[in-house]
Structure 1
Amino acid sequence: MLSSISWQHYFAAVMTALLLYYLYIALRYYRAEVLKFLKRNGQTVAFPLNEARPVPNIMGKAMPDKGVSLAGNDEILVMEATPDEYDPASAAQKTAGHPEIVPDPSRELVSEADSLITAFENEGDKQEFISLLKILIGSYKRFRDEIDFPETLAGVLRIAQNKLSFPVSAADLQGVWE
C-alpha cells in the first residue's frame, strides 16, 4: 500500500497536516489577534506578534522583616585600615586604654607554639612537628626587634619537653631565625 503513494503525495499530506495544526493553534490561542488582523481590510500591516500587553505582577512587594531596620551610609561605622607592618608605637597607642590587651609578639609566639605542641601530644611524628614549628617561628621574623628569640625559644622548648612524647632540642630548630 505504501508503495502506491508518491513522494509528492506524501509531502502534500504532511504540509496539509501542518497547515491545519498551525491554523488550529492560531485560532485556539490567538483568536483575538487573528480576528483583529482579519478585520483590517486590505491594510498592509505586519501581524502583531509582540503587541504590548500589560505585565501581570506575580510577586508581592519586598518588605523587611519585623524588627529589622536599615541604616544609612552615614550611620555605618568603618574602622581605619591597619598597616601591614607591625608598629609598636601605634600598637601601644591603640591599647593604651585597655590594659588587658598587651601587644607582645613573644607571648603570641609562645601561645601559638603551645597550641601546636598540644596538637602533637598524641602524635609521634617529630619531623612534621619540627617543620610546622619552623614555619610558625618563621612567620614571626617581622617582629625580630621586639622578640628575644633565645628566651622565647627556651620557653617553647620547656613546654615541648613537658607535653611531647619525643625530644625536641634547640639544634632541631637551628637556622630558623636567621
Structure 2
Amino acid sequence: MSDSETLVSGFGRELIRETVTMALYIGLSLLAVLVAIPKPEEESSTNLALTVALTALGLVVAHQIAFRVSTRLVSRGALPGEDVKLLLGQIAGGLAVVVIATVPLLIWGPDALIAVEVLLVALVAVVGYVAARSVPVSRLRAILYMAGVVLAVAVVLWLKLLVGH
C-alpha cells in the first residue's frame, strides 16, 4: 500500500470518521458547557451525572435532527441505508462520551467534575496523537501536533470562559 492510500477506504472510512467526529464534537461541546457553568457545591452525584448525561444526549439528538434534515435535503426526501448506518455510528460516538462523562460523576460525585473535564481533553488529545501517527511522522511530531490540538481546545475554552455562559 502506498503512503497516499488509507488503511480504511470507502464507506468504512466514512463510518469511522463520523463516529469519531461525533465523539469529539460531543466531548468538546460538553467540555465547553462544563467549564462555563459554576462548580456545583451542593449538587448530589446523581443529579450532576443526570444533568451532564442529559446535556450530552441533547447534543446528540440535536445533531441527529440536523443530519437527518440535511440528508433528506440532498437525497430528495430519502434517508438512504448508508446514512442510517452513519447515524448509528454517530450515536455510538456520542454515547461513548456520555459514559466517559457520567460514570466518574456517579462514582465520585461532584469532586470528579475536574476529572471529567480532563478525560474529555484527553479524548481529543489521544485522537489527535493517533491521527498524527497515522502518517509516517516521529513520535515527537505527533506529540507536537497533539499539543497544538490541545492548545486550540484551550483557546476555545478560554473564549467560552470570557463569555461567561
TM-score, L = length of structure 2: 0.27
- If asked which structure has higher relative contact order (CA below 8 Å, sep 6+), I would say 2
Which structure has the larger Rg over C-alpha atoms?
A: 1
Query: TM-score scaled to structure 1, two decimals?
Result: 0.25
